[in-house]
Amino acid sequence: MYLHEVNHYNLVYREEEREMNPLCADQGVGLLPWSPLARGLLAGNRERDGERKTVRSRNDAFGDALYSDADFDVVDAVREVAKERGVPPAQVALAWLIGRPGVTAPIVGATKLTHIEDAVALETLKLDDEEVTRLEAPYRPHPVLGHS
């Protein structure tokens, strides 16, 4: 039998790294993060100036409660690495997540073929230490979110 923790974990919400992820690692429990792309924020569905590019992002009050303007510094880092790699930002964000200790697989919602392609790219896209450092550097702590 395999045990897994389903948790809110992505590049702009890393609070699980403080207690839950280490506990799961200690107990041999794998991680299945939900919202690996921060409800599309890391894939580019929102802009710093407030522009919303998708129907979901325009109608996502829950996402608005989870993430803030400060998170766009992380989004910018993801976009920079993605541009250098010649891949979509979603692939970079997912590659970072799958490279975290204990992460078994992210829960990826797919409504378009490109969403599947981004997830499949995890098989070959590996980030180097310098890229990981750049992606993690702009992170700002959050209050515990996504739990009720």
**Which residues neighbour 84 within 8 Å (Cβ) at sequence distance 6 or greater?**
none
pTM of the shown model: 0.86
Lowest mean pLDDT among 13-22, 24-33, 39-48, 120-129: 39-48
Query: Does the pLDDT at position 1 exceed 50?
Result: no
State the Cα torsion 22-26-32-37 to the nearest 10°: 20
Q: What is the pLDDT of residue 148?
A: 56
Place of tokens 């790219």: 121
Average pLDDT, the chain: 85
